Amino acid sequence: MDYLKKISEELGKPTGERMRILFSGGEDKRILSACIELEREGILSPVILGRRKDVENTAKEIGIDFQSLDFVDIDGSPNFLDIVKSYMEIRNGQVTVEDAHKILRYSNYFGMMMLFNGYVDAFVSGSENSVIDVVKPAMRIIGTKPGIEKISGGVLMLKEEEAYLMADCFVHMNPDSETLANIAVETEDTARKLGINPKVAMLSFSTKGSAKHELVDKVTRATEMAKSINPSLELDGELQFDAAFVDSVGKKKAPGSNVAGKANVFIFPSLEAANIGYKIGENLGGFKAIGTIVQGLKKPVATVSEEADQEAIIALAKVIAKLACKDIK
């Protein structure tokens, strides 16, 4: 079955209240159109965050009526003062009331606070934001899960029934071995929650010592660290991509590995490699890149990429709703 269709069916089951997914960037044509379609489909509840005039202008420009959508005006929310009070409690005296009012006019801060306070189940940040625009409020407000010190970004690669997860595509430019190990553990957890039976490949330009270099050593150490963090992981490295993905190559280059040739979760040694890798998959392999999913936080957060179309935004909403489901262990 098509992967997204499967998620849609799971979200559409009459098991309770629909997940409320908050989108910033309501003035973005793609996001507004995607939310209209999601509302029509009826398996989750999109909530638009923005400034009324900007959103109304976009709606008028693309010829849609957004009045059916749940809309939060960042400049006129009835919950604004409560959110200011809550934010000041989180910051524990480190900001003044005046500073809090200014900070919470920024959509990512306001959106994270809506998520923190339970007004919504997940938050999707618009493509106009930089990495730091998302990471800073996420870390200050939502915080990381117990035992997790750093966040990372996963991109889900989809084509019909095929689904693969790649990381870190968002935060760490050149992660050390410890960071890489934690990225692997957290990405494995994301994959499992998304219904993927994870087999994790720690990628390199070497397979099992075929090349000697400090960059290879970094991945080898990370592999050992990840296994020590969670010995039950189906994880192996270091592996070249062909050894990780192609069964015949995996058997030849890494005989006896339970991951080589079967991997569906790919951990890249650097942000540069991850970005290049998922864009090759998207543009040459015909996959749809969904994300970024911000991993390691206490609550679900994602970002819309600059190149995402309406279809990708709808898919991201369903994926983040799946992660928000309360029955996920």
Residue 132 has pLDDT above 80, yes or no: yes
245 alpha carbon, distance to own chain's centre = 23
Burial class (CB in 10 A: 0-12, 13-18, 19+), 283: exposed
Residue 17: the pLDDT is 75
- DSSP H helices, 240-300, are 241-245, 247-253, 271-283
Domains identified in the chain and CATH numbers: 1-143+297-329 (3.40.50.10950), 147-296 (3.40.50.10750)
**Which of 241, 295, 305, 303 has the alpha carbon at shortest distance from 267?**
241
The pairing of beta strand 152-159 with beta strand 288-295: antiparallel
Structure confidence at residue 212 as a pLDDT band (50, 70, 90): very high
Cis peptide before 186 (omega within 30 of 0): no
Q: What percent of the chain has pLDDT over 90?
A: 88
Q: How many CB atoms lie within 10 A of CB 150?
A: 18
**Which of 22, 29, 9, 66 has the alpha carbon at shortest distance from 317?**
22
Question: Taking the chain, what is the end-to-end CA distance rounded to the nearest angstrom?
Answer: 24
Structure confidence at residue 42 as a pLDDT band (50, 70, 90): very high
Structure confidence at residue 274 as a pLDDT band (50, 70, 90): very high
Structure confidence at residue 328 as a pLDDT band (50, 70, 90): low
Structure confidence at residue 214 as a pLDDT band (50, 70, 90): very high
Residue 15 has pLDDT above 90, yes or no: no
Residue 16: the pLDDT is 62
Q: Any idea which residue has 């009826």 for tokens?
A: 42
Structure confidence at residue 13 as a pLDDT band (50, 70, 90): confident
Burial class (CB in 10 A: 0-12, 13-18, 19+), 68: exposed
Q: What is the mean pLDDT of residues 235-239?
A: 97
Residue 169 has pLDDT above 90, yes or no: yes
